[in-house]
Amino acid sequence: MNDMWGRIVSVIFAIFTVYGFYLLVRRIISEQTALWAAFIYSILPLNIYFSRAFMPESLMLMSSVLGIYFYNEWIENNKWKNYIFSLIFISLAALVKLPSLYLGLPLLFLSVNKFGKSFLTNWKIWLYVVLTFLPVILWYYHAHQLYLQTGLTFSIWNFGEDKWGMIDPLLTFKFYNDIFFKSIAERHLTYAAFILFIWGLFIKRKSSKEKLFDWWLIGIIIFIFIAPQAHLAQEYYQLPFTISASVFVAKVFEKYFNQPSIKESFKENRLVISFISLSLMVLILLSFLRVNNFMKSENYDATIFKFSNDIKLKVNKDDLIIYPSDGNPTLLYLSNRKGWILNPVELTSEQISEKKDQGAKYIVSEKKVFETEKQKENLKNIYNNYEIIIDNDEYFIASLKNK
């Protein structure tokens, strides 16, 4: 399987994201801030890495940015083409990733900022809401019918059990450390850009509309709290955070680097400009090092590639498999096999029997995902009851034929 074409499509979407982002920031704030924001967004390590990944994130980010941009153009110029373009892109973002509905918050801000309370009686806005939700509702209704027929699901409806509505993570320090420091501050922004982001939050807004990026950021943070487990499992869930964050970083550069006379500015703010310059150099260096490190994980000597090759050798192409994992479907993709992704804690004898009745022939998994006592007990049950075809320190393949 050659994923080159899928990667090229993702790169094209990423390019349009950067350009649309530039147009939006230029319209809302200034040309200089837009150039800095687009540049910062483009060099953040995970933005680079996932912009060439065969995943829907690039399409979702592009649709989000262009949807907001064209909505702003519509409320300013009242042209139907902008209205339609915005409608298409916002709907597409939600169709690709349902959590993109958080974009309703920045859209609501733009509406209130332009029309005040009268937005409630604006029939075009209500039509926009209806036409945005209609394809989303129809698509997820269709997806639910597929679930009823096949048992396959997007794993988004189990409120309080998997991705959504889990309160326990929010009550731990580990959650905030993992999401806001290890993921957002370290991996996404690098600490260099994170410091500038915090700094930029305190720079005075030049206009009321500039608060669009505040509300965009708030919408993403609300999404993080609504779906904490999803964000803990996958760091790419925080990619939308870098859109607004890049604007606040850019405002720092715009304030100190775009003076009429940079020499005079440097004389007055020597230490500040030196610190910002150093931060930029560190950002570029860390981005390069981290992207390089991420790329190494795609080395064909990595465990996941060896595992996928063993699956191709031992499992017929049409045989369905049960794949206990943390929710990442990469192994199924690499091995070109179909089946069910289950949380290791769900891998009970009853669940295995149910999947066998639906056609499952094998269980494949990395051993490292079996961490808790309950999960280890489920793993022991597999070894005791089923034929182990491949077994090493890193992974196993078990046939669902009883011993």
Q: What residue spans define the domains of the chain?
A: 4-190+205-248, 303-402
Specify the pLDDT at position 2.
Answer: 63
How confident is the model at residue 165, as a pLDDT? 61
C-beta separation of 58 from 13 below 8 A: yes
CB atoms within 10 A of CB 104: 16
pLDDT of residue 156: 55
| CA 126, chain centre distance (Å) | 28
Pairing of strands 360-366, 386-391: unpaired
Question: What pLDDT shows up at residue 13?
Answer: 96
Which long-range contacts (C-beta less than 8 Å, at least 24 apart) are formed by 8-15? 9/58, 10/51, 10/52, 10/53, 10/54, 10/55, 10/57, 10/58, 10/59, 11/51, 11/52, 11/58, 13/51, 13/58, 13/59, 13/61, 13/62, 14/47, 14/51, 14/52, 14/58, 14/61, 14/62
Query: Are 245 and 196 within 8 A, CB to CB?
Result: no
State the pLDDT at residue 162. Answer: 53
**Predicted local distance difference test score (pLDDT) of residue 330:** 80
Q: What is the pTM of this model?
A: 0.82
Ranges of the chain whose pLDDT falls below 50: 159-160
pLDDT at 358: 87
**pLDDT for the residue 158:** 52
Residue 253 to residue 271: CA distance in whole angstroms: 14
pLDDT for 213: 97
- pLDDT (tens digit per residue) in 180-227: 999 999 999 999 999 999 999 999 998 999 999 999 999 999 999 988
